[in-house]
Amino acid sequence: MSALLTILVSALAAYVLIYYNVFRGSRCRSRATLKGRTAVVTGSNTGIGKATALDLAKRGARVILACRNREKAEAAVYDIRRESGNTAVLFMHLDLASLKSVRTFAETFLKTEPRLDLLVNNAGVMGPGRTEDGFGLAFGVNHLGHFLLTLLLLDRLKASGHSRIINVSALLHRLGSVDFNTLNTHKALVTGQSSWHCFRAYCHSKLCNVLFTRELANHLEGTSVTCYSLHPGVIATDLVRNMSLWLWLLMLPFSKLFFLDSEGGAQTTLHCALQDGLEPLSGRYFSSCGLQEVSAAGRDDALARKLWEVSERLCGLS
């Protein structure tokens, strides 16, 4: 019995040590208030996007939930208004899997909102399928939709003063690559639709987020707008809602034991959005509320420039 107790205590101690030192992550320490500021958060009807929107609303910002599902987004608006006491929280329809929807959102926003101080490109998917425009789902939603959205809103960000763009990437960008031949041939970052292909496509799309941020910083040089990419941590969200049942069941126990909750997963996003003094680090990558180095591919300026040029062409901007 004593041997069993020793094993259980040791296992518990190991779990606590791993959780608090590896998975738990750091907290955003900024006390900034956002009265008079406007923020757009994509994919904010659930998960870390909703937690991010809630925190910004508590700080007094006007927060726009840019989401695809109206019913879920309106429920999130209700929750955030109630918990924050901020009534300046609203839903605007945005389907990142449709470049037409992205353009419509931007047109509506520019007509109705006089300023934009924070653009949080948070939405992400992992799964099979194609966008309305025929692109692989991960590439089309995680990168291309956000790329177009950002460029369409860039002038409003510049006009609003010291604004920031936050691109939620992932540690898995380190497993990513960009094959332009595959992209040109298949309009996707991978050639198949299996669970393995979907995982690889997700990794590749997260590298695209890092590369986009790096090149965007070059385009923003000399302006008052800065941009950052980040790894939010390992989060227990519905990111894999499009994945197969067996993979979801495989991940479930690990997510319950080790993954961050949505509030914990929003902390690095909030750090990049709110922390004073980050302006000289525009274009860089953060994790656990601190500056981190990216993969070698993520530091490839030529790759970043080519991705920008290809993305412009695919969006019809060039």
Can you read off the two tokens belonging to residue 33? 């208030």
The residues pairing with 110 across neighbouring beta strands, listed in sequence order, are none
Q: From CA 158, how far away is CA 155, in angstroms rounded? A: 5
The residues pairing with 120 across neighbouring beta strands, listed in sequence order, are 41, 166
Cβ 79 vs Cβ 53: under 8 Å? no
Q: How far is CA 301 from the centre of its chain?
A: 21
Biggest distance spanned by C-alpha atoms of the chain: 72
Cβ 266 vs Cβ 51: under 8 Å? yes
Other CB atoms within 10 Å distance of the CB of residue 309: 12
Within 85-194, residue ranges assigned H as helices are 99-112, 137-138, 146-159, 180-186
Residues 6+ apart with CB under 8 A from 277: none
Cβ 247 vs Cβ 240: under 8 Å? yes
Indicate which residue of 15, 20, 78, 202 is catalytic: 202
Start-to-end CA span in the chain (Å)? 72
Other CB atoms within 10 Å distance of the CB of residue 174: 16
Q: From CA 58, how far away is CA 47, in angstroms rounded? A: 17
**Is 78 an annotated catalytic residue?**
no
Which of the 8 DSSP states describes residue 287?
Answer: E
Q: From CA 207, how far away is CA 197, in angstroms rounded? A: 15
Active site residues: 202
